[in-house]
Amino acid sequence: MVWLGTIINGVLLGGLYGLFGVGLALVFGVTRIVNIMHGEFIALSAFVALGLSMLLPNAHPLLLIAPVVIVSFVLGYALQAIFVNRAMRLPDPVAPLLLTFGLSVIVRNLMVEAFGVNPRSIRRGDFAQLSVDVFGIPIGVLPLVTLALAVVLFLVLQFLLRRTEIGRIVRATADNAETVRLMGVRPASVYNIVMGLSFALAGVAGLMLALRTTFTPFSGVERLLISFEVVVMGGLGSFWGAMLGGIALGVAQLVGLRLNPNSGFLYGNLVFFAFVMLRPNGLFGSRL
Amino acid sequence: MKRLSPPLITFAGFAAAAAAAPWVMGDGGISLFFEILLMLAMAQLWNLLAGYTGLVSMGLQCFVGFGGYTTIFAANYFSVSPYWVLPLAPLVCGLVAACSTLLLFRLRDAYFSIATWVFSEVVAVLVLMMPGLGHVTGMTLETARDIDYETFLLTNFWIAAAIAGGTTFGIYVLMRSPLGLGMLSVRDNEIAATSIGVDVWRNRFIAYVATAAGCGLAGGVSFMAALFITVTTAFDLNWVVAMIFIVIIGGFGSIEGPIIGTVVFFGIRELFTNALALTGSWYLIALGTVAVLTMLVAPTGIWPFVRDRLGIEWLSVKRDVPYAYAKPVS
Amino acid sequence: MLLEVTSLDAFYGDLQALHQVSINVNDGESVALVGANGAGKTTFLKCVSGLIRQKRGSIEFAGADILSAPAEAITRFGIALTPEGRMLFSSLNVEENLQMGGLNRRRGHWNLQRVYQLFPLLAERRLQMPNTLSGGEQGLVAIGRALMANPRLLLCDEISLGLAPVAVDRIYASFAAIRSEGTAIVLVEQDVKRASSASDRVYCLLEGQVTMHGASRDLDAEDLTRAYFGT
């Protein structure tokens, strides 16, 4: 019975992991770049959420979503416009990867200087500790809400991409950036928007992370690796694949921790490696 | 062979300087250069992998740490002086790297890069969990107690100098050899290289295993000198961060680049941590900024920028075009 | 004169692809640009549509200097290109591809409904993905996509390449309707006969230079062969 609880909570954790991964999948699907800053941004968003929650102590944590999304979008847009677009114009295809790597180091260490290395969390005792009893298994409300939020955001993203004009433009740019120019679209502008969206998603992920657990400026590294694994397992650029990948990792993670409480993210990583050996193209090899 | 002159001077001069160093520098200087030399060796190796073979690794800290643990563990276990077991470090790391290619070589480009990072995290956790390696508290090198401090310091320094010089010279010779040419061709165009009979997989495999072994040796020496190792310091991401920044700043795909980059790295580090007395993170922020700016302003790095502007050659691995095929430039 | 290209040089890095090319197109005209593989035909179209930056000379469209205009701005002037290989957006269905064409449309005759009227085949397949269409049908989508912008000048890069004659007929049959709305066409083809039959004038390119130019009906086979292959 206790294993069933572990698995269910693993699935719910998978919602958070899926949320981590979808921003990375979006950027990769359109720009073909793996954004190493992604993890640091999740951590940064957690700190921003912490700051906001201290400024607005009476606000329900979920209300913080709106300001976090807006600030994150702007930051992502700016970073792409100022730095990453430049790196993408360089002849070396490795350049954007190394640029985001360098920026991630800067951001991480700035966070260390600004916030210190001690673990923090958002102290909202009530909300984070709530749980419901489902057939005798305690299920946290926060993880449930996180999964629901992840699904909602996925659906919103799908809607945006498939049924709006801007979504059409993004998909077309991802397909063929040169041809789309013939229709008056500046690929660089599309990349700005996509990165902004990606950061917004990372922002929400960071907020949910902050509510759920303690974090430090070093929390970004692990989240990047999780995001990356989720994206690869799901099939590069596939969102629902990322969700399923996240669930697989979430279950592996919690089962692993139950087997060995000191194992960190070992079991998640091992499942990822097993995937790479057996299904290197991921669950759904399509794009967007 | 007129073209051999600058390299000959450089390598000979380096050997002489390393031999004479203890009479010129105090203990502090020796310690610092010890670090610098090991870092140079590792940067050259990262450059070999990325600049020449096109494999960008973000997980070499795995072998630095594993080499360190191997050395200290073996020295303690066999109760011998660490120098006897030092060769185990590159051996074991080479083996681990060889096995890891079964997994890691299934991925390409950015996926390979991040997968090496994941691999390092996995190894770190396994070392943490393994009994006999000290878990969270780490391990101390027991068998160095009997070695006289000065002797220990100088021996390690000369080993580091040998490693740095050997790595640089070794890569120099390699790149001028047919194997090196093969590696360059793989980096430039994998498909074309395969079509002319270059075994892509073999080239990459050799480069990856050699780099891992080299980093293992450097790690072994480094932690042996430190007398103490923990999982946090052993598998610290900042090892590979340093390697990457050095090569970005100094220049890819050249022997001179990492040398310049290492100088800049330590220049900034000493400036920030000693002269300006700022906490540890600031020098990394400064380095990151320099690296990012270099990427945007002089994308190939300082050395190629300088070399092309001033038209100078130092440790060039360029080959002469066979006369019969040389076409005059119009 | 609608399009006036004078002494155009174009480069791919150090390689010069076009040498002093001068080509004109008048309003409502249909001009064919023929030549062997690598003659520079696609390069020319890419220069006019702004996709190639390394160029010098003069390109004037409706009196405006568009030599240094980027590709994103060219569409507003009223130039549309069906690229070599058609380059449809593979994640978008037929209708979405057409809608992309109309993104920065000028005012004019063509809209989604009218394109479907011109190509009823597309109306049937409007929700299908491009990779489920035949080559000929993809060609129709490519032209329809370009028409959606209501261009004054339509550039067609080897639209008959790899297509069955029946499919090519269908495409060429639409040119009458396109021209009747006042759009000029530049047809780049390797098939000289086909191209010249659908155009008023013909230019021939060889190794980046114009080797022949004249009215389609005055084409001399011998002269053309020489201009095409160079002897």
Residue A198 belongs to some domain of the structure: yes
- Closest residue in A to C72 (Cα–Cα): A184
Least Cα separation, residue A87 to chain C (angstroms): 19
Orientation angle between helical segments A95-115 and A37-55, nearest 10 degrees: 30
Which positions in chain B have a beta carbon within 8 angstroms of at least one beta carbon in chain A?
50, 56, 58, 103, 106-107, 109-111, 113-115, 117-119, 121-122, 125-126, 128-129, 237, 241, 244-245, 248, 279, 281-282, 284-285, 287-289, 291-292, 295-296, 299
The DSSP element (H or E) to which B108 belongs, if any, is: none
Per-residue pLDDT reduced to its tens digit, B92-121? 999 999 999 999 998 888 889 999 999 999
Q: Is the pLDDT of residue B45 over 80?
A: yes
Residue A75 belongs to some domain of the structure: yes
Residue A284 belongs to some domain of the structure: no
Domain, as residue range, for A246: 2-117+149-278
* Domain definitions of chain B by residue range: 2-235, 237-314
Which residues of C fall within a CB distance of 8 Å from A186? Answer: 72
Residue A22 belongs to some domain of the structure: yes
Q: Which residue reads 């090569």 in tokens?
A: B247
List chains touching C (3+ CB pairs under 8 A).
Answer: A
Nearest to B114 among A34, A99, A263 (CB): A34
State ipTM.
0.90
For chain C, residues with pLDDT lower than 50 are none
What pLDDT score was predicted for residue A286?
45
Least Cα separation, residue B60 to chain A (angstroms): 15
Nearest to A184 among C75, C83, C92 (CB): C75
What pLDDT score was predicted for residue A127?
64
Q: Is the pLDDT of residue B1 over 60?
A: no
Could you tell me what percent of chain B has a pLDDT over 70?
Answer: 90
Which residues of C fall within a CB distance of 8 Å from A288? Answer: 91
Contact C98, C109 (CB under 8 A): no
- For chain B, first and last CA: distance in Å? 28
Segment B290-306 shows an average pLDDT of 86
What pLDDT score was predicted for residue B324?
54
CB contact under 8 A, A184 and C103: yes
Residue A131 belongs to some domain of the structure: no
- Closest residue in A to B244 (Cα–Cα): A98
Nearest to C72 among A169, A181, A287 (CB): A181
Listed range (A9-23, A180-194, B40-54, B187-201) with the worst mean pLDDT: B187-201
Orientation angle between helical segments B302-310 and B256-270, nearest 10 degrees: 120
Per-residue pLDDT reduced to its tens digit, A197-226? 999 999 999 998 888 888 999 999 989 999
CB contact under 8 A, A113 and B115: no
Length of chain A (residues): 288
The count of structural domains within chain A is 1
Which positions in chain C have a beta carbon within 8 angstroms of at least one beta carbon in chain A?
49-51, 70-76, 80-81, 83, 87, 89-92, 96, 99-101, 103-104, 149
Which residues of C fall within a CB distance of 8 Å from A172? Answer: 89, 91-92, 96, 100
CA C108 to chain CA mean position, Å: 19
Least Cα separation, residue B143 to chain A (angstroms): 30
CB contact under 8 A, B125 and A90: no
Q: Which of A81, A69, A60, A74 is nearest to A192 (CA)?
A: A81
Segment A22-48 shows an average pLDDT of 90
SS3 state at A120? strand
Which residues of C fall within a CB distance of 8 Å from A174? Answer: 91
CB contact under 8 A, C100 and A178: no
Orientation angle between helical segments A187-212 and A165-175, nearest 10 degrees: 110
DSSP per-residue letters across B138-151: -EE--TTTTS-HHH
CB contact under 8 A, B122 and A263: no
Least Cα separation, residue A49 to chain C (angstroms): 36
Q: Is the pLDDT of residue A172 over 90?
A: yes
CB contact under 8 A, A273 and B118: yes
Instruction: Give the alpha-carbon dihedral of A118, A122, A126, A127, to 10 degrees.
Output: -130
Nearest to A103 among B103, B125, B292 (CB): B292
Q: Is the pLDDT of residue A92 over 60?
A: yes
Which residues of A fall within a CB distance of 8 Å from C101? Answer: 183
Among B100, B125, B129, most A C-beta atoms within 10 A, so best to mutate, is B125
CB contact under 8 A, A102 and B56: no
What pLDDT score was predicted for residue B255?
85
CB contact under 8 A, C75 and A172: no
| SS3 assignment for chain C | CCEEEEEEEEEECCEEEEEEEEEEECCCCEEEEEECCCCCHHHHHHHHCCCCCCEEEEEEECCEECCCCCHHHHHHHCEEEECCCCCCCCCCCHHHHHHHHCCCCCCCCCCHHHHHHHCHHHHHCCCCCHHHCCHHHHHHHHHHHHHCCCCCEEEEECCCCCCCHHHHHHHHHHHHHHHHCCCEEEEEECCHHHHHHCCCEEEEEECCEEEEEEEHHHCCHHHHHHHHHCC
Report the sign of the C-alpha dihedral through residues B14, B20, B25, B26, in that order.
Answer: positive
Which residues of C fall within a CB distance of 8 Å from A183? Answer: 75, 100-101, 103-104, 149
Least Cα separation, residue C87 to chain A (angstroms): 7
Which residues of C fall within a CB distance of 8 Å from A184? Answer: 72-73, 75-76, 103-104
What pLDDT score was predicted for residue C38?
85
Contact A149, A200 (CB under 8 A): no
Nearest to C89 among A175, A181, A184 (CB): A175
Q: Which of B184, B182, B187 is nearest to B198 (CA)?
A: B182
Which residues of C fall within a CB distance of 8 Å from A171? Answer: 89, 91-92, 96
Under the banding of pLDDT at 50, 70 and 90, the label for residue A125 is low
Among B62, B136, B290, B292, most A C-beta atoms within 10 A, so best to mutate, is B292
What pLDDT score was predicted for residue A288?
37
CB contact under 8 A, B289 and A106: yes
Least Cα separation, residue A134 to chain B (angstroms): 34
B289's tokens: 């900024």
- Closest residue in C to A187 (Cα–Cα): C72
Contact between chain B and chain A (3 or more Cβ pairs less than 8 Å apart): yes
Which residues of A fall within a CB distance of 8 Å from B114? Answer: 34, 36, 224-225, 228
Could you tell me what percent of chain A has a pLDDT over 70?
Answer: 93
Under the banding of pLDDT at 50, 70 and 90, the label for residue B149 is confident
CB contact under 8 A, A184 and C49: no
**Separation between Cα atoms, residue C190 and residue C160, nearest integer Å:** 9
- Closest residue in C to A30 (Cα–Cα): C91
Least Cα separation, residue A66 to chain B (angstroms): 30
CB contact under 8 A, C80 and A174: no
Q: Which residue reads 């699907």 in tokens?
A: A29
Could you tell me what percent of chain B has a pLDDT over 90?
Answer: 48
CB contact under 8 A, B107 and A276: yes
CB contact under 8 A, B296 and A86: yes
Task: State the count of interchain CB pairs (< 8 A) between A and B.
Answer: 110
Per-residue pLDDT reduced to its tens digit, B55-77? 899 999 999 999 999 999 999 99
Residue A253 belongs to some domain of the structure: yes
Contact A144, A14 (CB under 8 A): no
Nearest to B110 among A34, A99, A280 (CB): A34
What pLDDT score was predicted for residue B188?
67
**Separation between Cα atoms, residue B201 and residue B78, nearest integer Å:** 37
Under the banding of pLDDT at 50, 70 and 90, the label for residue B317 is low
Per-residue pLDDT reduced to its tens digit, B190-243? 667 677 766 778 888 988 999 999 999 999 999 999 999 999 999 999 999 999
Nearest to C100 among A174, A178, A183 (CB): A183
Contact B163, B156 (CB under 8 A): no
- Closest residue in A to C148 (Cα–Cα): A183
